[in-house]
Amino acid sequence: MKLARPVENESGIALYGAGMELTPAIIERLKAMGTEAVFIEGAIEYRFPKKADYLAVVETAFSKTGGKAINANLRKIMKAHVEAIYGSR
Amino acid sequence: MKTAAEIRDEIESLSAIPTLPTVLTDVLKLIDREDVSVNQIGDFISEDQALSARVLKMVNSPIYGFPGRISSINQALMLIGLGVLKGMLTGVAIFDVMQKTMVGLWEHSIGAAAAARIIAQKAGIKEVEEASVAGLIHDLGKVALGVCYPAEFGQCVERARAEQKYIFDLERDIMGVSHAEAGSWLARKWNFPRQLVEAVAYHHKPRLAKEAKKLAATVHLADALIKMTGFGFGGDPFVHPVDEEAWALLGLSDDDVKDILLELEDSISGTVLSF
């Protein structure tokens, strides 16, 4: 069982990197630090696309919904979401 | 072209998806028996290590909302109930045939399961596990059509790609039935809980649901959201117009949708281990 994402302290400094094997000793240390949960490598393999590719996926997804208000709003939220997640990475 | 009634007969005669392991067919029969206890069913599943490992892996993934907390099949049964377990077992067991039916369909299905769970939580639906399973099996009909009519279904997939159309419309044009109808016939024939049957039947037209409007609305929106992320592939990349009645029924705000998208990406991009 390996970490899928780094474990960081409150200052954002990575204590354990992605790919680190989660041994019982490390799990105990994480618990002692007050860590409630970590991301582990799972059965689902997903790589985030590049921002431009992700935005293209969104455009294609909404290319047949016409001017329906709910879909227009969802499209707006989704585009803002993509902008936000790439802004934070 | 065969009539819808003939297609329905052929789909309902699928006593099991051909590649389903015998143990699953046996478990599904056992669940339907009234003289068998929940513990006996749990013990029977636990005897098959491969199947129980798959179920525990699934139930402990963020898709079902109990990350890292369920260690035995009997514990899973207590938490999710037999009806939901039946849907989950089917979803888990059709993994292989889903992969063969359409590349990306399994990912689309587990993505929809995760989205449905998160939407259900935000919309205040108590049966979140039922929502997850409904999301997981909502495209069961694509598997049924792919197994019973590989040439015609293959034509739907190919034309959807070449003509940039919704696969739902092509199924109706080419075969006269949609995967939603096909899936509901199979789910009903296999004695799935009525709520799950309705969610499968009406995930494209949730306003037509009679007893499970909110569940159908949840899967309808989950299907749209997972397509928006581009995770997996359900036959076409296009979001369907979201039904206004379903949207109103769920009562979600813009902020709710933003939260759902964030949580959904966490769910599909990694598995959480809770201490």
Amino acid at B200: V
Minimum Cα–Cα distance from B227: chain A residue: A61
Residues in chain B: 275
pLDDT greater than 70 at residue B16: no
Whether residue B94 has pLDDT greater than 80: no
CB spacing of B275 vs A35 below 8 angstroms:
yes
Q: Across the A/B interface, how many CB contacts are shorter than 8 Å?
A: 107
Task: State the pLDDT at residue B146.
Answer: 92
Helices (H), B48-104: 49-59, 73-93, 95-101
CB contact under 8 A, B238 and A74: no
Q: Considering only CB atoms, which chain A residues are within 8 Å of B271?
A: 4, 39-44
Residue B54: exposed, middle, or buried by beta-carbon count in 10 A (0-12, 13-18, 19+)? middle
Position B89 scores a pLDDT of 80
Q: For the residues B75-89, what does the mean pLDDT come to?
A: 80
Q: What is each CA distance from B194 to B80, B83, B136, B187, B210, in whole angstroms?
A: 16, 10, 16, 9, 10
How close does chain B come to A61, measured CA to CA in Å? 4
**Interface residue of A22, A44, A48, A59 to substitute, partner B, most B CBs within 10 Å:** A44
pLDDT at B226 over 70: yes
Per-residue pLDDT, averaged over A28-40, amounts to 74
pLDDT at A36: 66
ipTM: 0.77
Q: Residue B66 pLDDT > 70, yes or no?
A: no
Of B2-11, B17-26, B56-65, least confident by mean pLDDT is B17-26
DSSP classification of residue B103: T
Q: What is the CATH number of domain B94-269?
A: 1.10.3210.10
Which residues of chain B have a Cβ shorter than 8 Å from any chain A Cβ?
A: 57, 61, 67-68, 107, 110, 166, 224, 227-231, 237-242, 244, 247, 254, 257-258, 261-262, 265-266, 268-275
Q: Which residue of A has its CA nearest to B230?
A: A57
Predicted confidence (pLDDT) at residue B3 exceeds the cutoff of 60: yes
* Lowest mean pLDDT, pick from A29-38, A59-68, B146-155, B241-250: A29-38
- How does residue A43 score in pLDDT terms, banded at 50, 70 and 90? very low
CA dist list (Å): A29 to A11, A22, A37, A41: 18, 10, 13, 19
